[in-house]
Amino acid sequence: MNATAMAQPGSQTVQTEKTGGTRIELAGCTKTFPDGTRALLPFDLTINGGETLVLLGPSGCGKTTILRLIAGLEFPDAGGKITFGADDVTSQSIEKRRVGMVFQSYALFPNMTVAENVAYGLKVQKVERRERDERVRAMLEMMHIDMLADRRIDQLSGGQRQRVALARAIALRPRVLLLDEPLTALDAKLRVTLRTEINSLLRKLGITAIYVTHDQEEAMALGDRIVVMQKGAIAQIGTPREIYRAPRSPFVADFVGASNRLDGRIEQNSLVLGDIKIGLEQIGHAVEGGPNGHHDGNTGQGAADVYFRADGLAICTPDQGQMRGRVEAISYLGEKSRLTVSGIGESAITLDVDPDFQIAIGDDIHCRFNPERLTVFGRHSNARNAAQTM
């Protein structure tokens, strides 16, 4: 999409970014609600032109508040600054910002048809009738809902409604597309289909997009970068691969699906788990404690949290086994079976096996770690200092 195509008819400003999307910057933003709740701690965030940024986190972490700050539905506390390209929009209200919004509840106008919904923004912006009809038709075709043009909203399925909502949001060629959990209300299968469609749509349009979700899989599938949020603060920003393979804190590791946790110790550049010793150089990702930890392998001395997914442990023969556990439950998932195993850590551990592997509840199994798939967090922020003094 070239620069002129991004310009909105009827407005004098012409998009100049070569990237095709507007670069968005939030600088020194905080948000305190009137009742005194600190919704967002001070943060800076840059979304590159044409990038899809996913805000990921549990409910109440502040991800939707960031979206609403960018939308112009909320305003940052004094001192915060929001820019769209070279445009300072900090005090601009949503009507002026040219943002496209897609909501979890679809928020389609029930008193209008599909085509009228999509045309609404164009009508408000006084786009001439013929051009309006033409653009609405193109939008509906792009979203594969042209045959629904004259339907009423209550005659549509959830997936169709969300397609209409997307068409309505992009019909005005907004500077940024803001999606607030758009797939949460849909069933699992449709969610995956529509996710793929949204992904290719965003790539095709080259539009800057910010996508809020609490679903890790959705975030990984859609995001160029993911921002993991925790209690009003940014816990980590990175590509899906970075977030998945190199989580910076136990919270991030846990939130992106490394649900197994063991207590360990770090001694002389080795991870010690009971009577097992694994060299830190073999560990996939090791972080010293503290908020700015980095994975240089030098994780000092002391207690450590070990996180891993279902692929962090593998069943093996008794002579190769590092530990023994007992199968408590088996879930057949088709392409694999997931075992719940007790006796390894304090709480049960999940691990995956081949679905045809012969095993029953109550069986004893032997397994060993896959060090590359382990993530280790030193528990003390001064662990490194302690190591130096020794």
Partner 1 sequence: MALQNLGEGRSRPSFSRYFGMSRSAMASPATFMALMAPGVAIVAAFFLIPLVLVAMEVANGPDGWATYLVILTNARYFESLVQTLLMSAGVTVVALILCGIVGMFLVRNRFSGRSVLIGLLTLPLSFPGTVVGFMVIMLAGRQGAVGSISNALIGEKIVFAYEIAGLFIGYLYFSIPRVILAVMASAEKLDPQLEEAARSLGAPRWRVVRDVILPGLMPGLISSGAICFATAMGAFGTAFTLATDIDVLPMVIYTEFTRNANIAVAAALSIALGLITWLCLSAVRFLVGEKADLATRGGA
Residues near partner 1 (CB under 8 A): 71, 73, 93-101, 103, 105-111, 120-121, 124-125, 152-156, 165, 168-169, 172, 185
Helix residue ranges per DSSP H, 172-293: 188-205, 216-222, 240-245, 250-255
Residue 99 or residue 383: which is nearer to partner 1 going by CB? 99
Q: How far apart are CA 17 and CA 86, in angstroms?
A: 10
Least separation in angstroms between residue 231's CB and partner 1 is 25
State whether the Cα torsion 354-357-362-364 is positive or negative: negative
Q: Residues for the chain: how many in total?
A: 390
Least separation in angstroms between residue 263's CB and partner 1 is 45
Q: How far is CA 192 from CA 11, 55, 170, 203, 219, in A?
A: 37, 18, 21, 17, 12
Q: What is the DSSP string of 124-186?
A: HTT--HHHHHHHHHHHHHHTT-GGGTT-BGGGS-HHHHHHHHHHHHHHT--SEEEEESTTTTS
Residue 121 or residue 345: which is nearer to partner 1 going by CB? 121
Burial 288-301 (b: 16+ CB within 10 A, else e): bbbeebebebbbbb
Residue 98 or residue 285: which is nearer to partner 1 going by CB? 98
Residue 103 or residue 251: which is nearer to partner 1 going by CB? 103
Which tokens is 210 given? 């910010």
Is residue 342 a contact partner of residue 348, using CB atoms and an 8 Å limit?
yes
Residue 169 or residue 376: which is nearer to partner 1 going by CB? 169
The number of beta carbons lying within 10 Å of the beta carbon of residue 331 is 11
Residue 14 or residue 124: which is nearer to partner 1 going by CB? 124
Least separation in angstroms between residue 319's CB and partner 1 is 59
Least separation in angstroms between residue 181's CB and partner 1 is 12
The number of beta carbons lying within 10 Å of the beta carbon of residue 124 is 10
Least separation in angstroms between residue 103's CB and partner 1 is 5
Least separation in angstroms between residue 8's CB and partner 1 is 10
Least separation in angstroms between residue 131's CB and partner 1 is 16
- Decide the pairing of beta strands 270-273 and 276-279: antiparallel
Residue 154 or residue 275: which is nearer to partner 1 going by CB? 154
